[in-house]
């Protein structure tokens, strides 16, 4: 599948959670930074790690998996957000990790364009609904944290 078709599938998957999918698409088109607000807790929750730990955790996941679930980076690389199954935020107990689930909204860049905003995809959604397994994410976080303390 080419990049345009993959981006189209990713857009459809993301806007499916929006209260008004057409309004979400318009927001992505009109905003100079190419972002829209989407509700967490429907198709995915987001676990948000400090930037250094999040990028190291993603490195571990990439060594273990063919493809991890979607991952966001934002706010001048200070935070990395992993899209995980809905309901994870309500059960997450990890220290230093923020969890966004039902009742929260996430700034999401368009998956097919490089925006001028402060949020970007490190791993773009593929539109299949692939998410990061929270148990695997936790193991990868521990491995990444241990590696960071060694360095």
Give kind and range of the element (H or E) at residue 109: strand 105-109
Check residue 93 and give its pLDDT.
84
Check residue 115 and give its pLDDT.
61
DSSP per-residue string spanning 14-62: HHTTSSSHHHHHHHHHH-TT-EEEEESSSS-EEEEEEHHHHHHHHHHHH
Give the Cα separation of 53 and 31 in Å (integer).
30
The string of pLDDT tens digits covering residues 53-110 is 999 999 999 999 989 999 999 877 799 999 999 999 999 987 789 999 999 999 999 9
């Amino acid at each position: 599948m080419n990049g345009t078709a993959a981006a189209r599938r990713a857009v459809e998957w993301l806007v499916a959670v929006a209260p008004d999918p057409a309004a979400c698409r318009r927001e992505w088109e009109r905003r100079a930074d190419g972002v829209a607000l989407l509700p967490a807790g429907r198709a995915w929750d987001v676990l948000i790690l400090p930037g250094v730990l999040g990028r190291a955790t993603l490195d571990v996941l990439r060594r273990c998996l063919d493809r991890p679930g979607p991952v966001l980076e934002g706010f001048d690389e200070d935070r990395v957000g992993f899209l995980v199954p809905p309901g994870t935020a309500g059960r997450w107990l990890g220290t230093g990790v923020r969890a966004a689930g039902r009742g929260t909204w996430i700034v999401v860049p368009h998956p097919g364009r490089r925006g001028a905003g402060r949020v970007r995809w490190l791993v773009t959604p593929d539109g299949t609904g692939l998410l990061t397994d929270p148990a695997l994410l936790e193991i990868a976080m521990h491995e990444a944290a241990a590696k960071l303390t060694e360095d």
